[in-house]
Structure 1
Amino acid sequence: MPATPTAPTWDPSQYLRHADHRARPFADLLARVPALPRTPARIADLGCGPGNVTALLAERWPAAHITGYDNSPEMLAKAAALAGPTPGGGRLDFATGDARTWTPSAPYDLIISNATLQWVPGHTDSFAAWVTGLAPGGTFAFQVPGNFDAPSHRLMRELAHSARWKNRLADALRHDDAVHTPAAYLEHLTALGCTADVWETTYLHLLEGEDPVLDWVKGTGLRPILTELGAADSEAFVAEYRAALREAYPATEHGTVFPFRRIFAVARRAH
């Protein structure tokens, strides 16, 4: 079996450099979440990161008690500034929690996760506990990237397995089976008795600036490499990777087009 990769160190500032583009899939997911069964609602956001999209939950359900969970101290430190009472009488909290082991301690009306489950091997094994942890009529919703065969990820894996880097990086990255097909998610969720809505969307992000795709992945997919190599050796890897990305994603007069496929699921527990 592959070695367990080192847990990546996160950089909230780097992650938020493309906050508008990253938040759009969450907004699209949120738009398909039905009315929640209780008011005030109790909501969990698994893998809340810096909390910027968790705050959108308070706009939709202003009276809710919302808790964002993350296992990154750096992300939770950034999110802490958003914690406290919400204008609608609810509350926004953040707490340490790992999606690999987290289970509901009391019924939730909504358990939601944005671009996190791809970091959790075997995440479908947790679906039963999460659905069971919903109040009757509650919803489990998530979105994950479905672009592991895209040049941004494929080139990263190829370079990590090249002669220069394979001894240090062969087991650092997630494999291309980190997420399932939409059909597989639909099967898992309906088998748990949920009414499920599963779909996929490919966004064409038009990015600005020099090497914007590299700048994007420095906040997410490249984190395990940067963590494993450290600052000194990362420069050499990034230089090779940058050249490959420039060829795969050429700049145009209007910016650099970055196609990004995502998979969405909204599953409602029966009343």
Structure 2
Amino acid sequence: MTSPTWDPALYTAFGDHRSRPFYDLTGRIAAAAPRRVVDLGCGPGDLTASLAERWPGAEVEGVDSSEAMLDAARSRYAGREGLRFTHGDILHWEPEEDVDVVVSNAALHWVSGHQGLMGRWLEQLAPGAWLAVQVPGSFSSPSHALLRELAESSQWEHRLRGVLRHTDPVSEPRGYLDLMLEAGWDADVWETTYLQVLTGEDAVLTWVRGTGMRPVLDALSAAEAAQFEEQYNQLLFDAYPAVERDGVVTTVYPFRRIFCVGRKPA
């Protein structure tokens, strides 16, 4: 699957919800004074910048394949000492000798066979290095299942065949744990389901539009995308009922995340 196009403003519309898993992930990294920190799939750069604040003595590099995301990051953090943003494909990234911390937050599920990449990094990273990965575990949730079902319907199948990944985009937590342990790393793997309270009439649609729906929007014309969204949104209304309290419409959107943090013994 080719990389989707990204809209930095849309992606950050639910900034607090999207950033919380990052901090839960990186909070388990106990590196004291890393030389170089790399954030793979850095997006608009806000979370990468937090790594530079945490480790001011480190060279912090954000890597992303989206020029739109990198433009947003460079514009916001131009001139920040020790922080840079690089265009690159995760599939071809390899750690250099001075990389002590690698973070990938909500990015590796876009890379087919990323488990193999992780296995290579586990071998290549220097003793004492840290690897921290977070991926969504929501591919069987109603939002994603309904998206696939609609894309496979008779109306849309001819336009969207092969656009969405259907099988094993991520491993279960035990798979990541075994991957690290078999490489001889110390590992900490867990999962969390966040009960996100989203605000607005079309909150779940807006959430998915910023991430999992991107390949569909890329494949359709503007008129087709509007029609698809209308049909999809009705399915979402049924799956995720909204509630109005004191004039505010909210929807509870459960979102499962899988976390994997490991350290290579020195």
Into which bin does the TM-score normalised by the smaller protein fall? over 0.9
Correspondence list, 1:166-245, <5 A: 166-245=157-236
Is the CA contact (8 Å cut-off) linking 1:55 and 1:82 kept in structure 2? no
TM-score, normalising length from structure 1? 0.93
Does the aligned pair in 2 maintain the 1:82–1:92 contact within 8 Å?
Answer: no
1:27 pairs, out of 8, 23, 33, with 23
Q: Does structure 1 retain, via aligned residues, the 8 Å contact 2:34–2:100?
A: no
**Matched residue, 1:13:** 9
Aligned to 1:78: 72
User: What corresponds to 1:261 in structure 2?
Assistant: 256
* Structure-2 separation of matches of 1:196 and 1:82: 34
Distance in 1 between residues matched to 2:27 and 2:96, nearest whole Å? 27
**4+ residue stretches of structure 1 with deviation over 3 A?**
82-86
CA contact (8 A) 1:83 1:94 kept: no
Q: Distance in 1 between matches of 2:34 and 2:150?
A: 49
- Between the aligned partners of 2:159 and 2:28, the Cα distance in structure 1 is 42
Amino acid at match of 2:73: A
Alignment of 1:84-163 (within 5 A): 84=78, 86=80, 91-163=82-154
Per-residue deviation, residues 78-135 of structure 1 (Å, max 9, x unmatched)? 111244555xxx5110001111121123331100000001001100111233223433
Q: TM-score, normalised by structure 2?
A: 0.94
Q: Partners of 2:3 and 2:170 in 1: how far apart?
A: 18
Residue 84 to residue 133, structure 1, CA distance change in 2 (3 Å): farther
- Deviates further, 238-247 or 121-130: 121-130
**Over aligned residues, Cα RMSD in angstroms?**
1.4
Superposed CA deviations along residues 57-88 of structure 1, whole A, max 9, x for unmatched, are: 112212211000000111111111244555xx
Where does the alignment leave 5 or more consecutive residues of structure 2 unmatched?
none
Say which SS state the counterpart of residue 135 (structure 1) adopts: coil
Task: Give the aligned length.
Answer: 262
- Specify the alignment match of 1:41 in structure 2: 35
Give the Cα–Cα distance (whole angstroms) in 2 for the partners of residues 113 and 265 of structure 1. 10
Structure 2 counterpart of 1:68, from 55, 62, 72: 62
Provide Cα deviations, 1:168-199, integer angstroms capped at 9, x if missing partner.
Answer: 11210122410001001100111111000000
Identity value in percent:
50
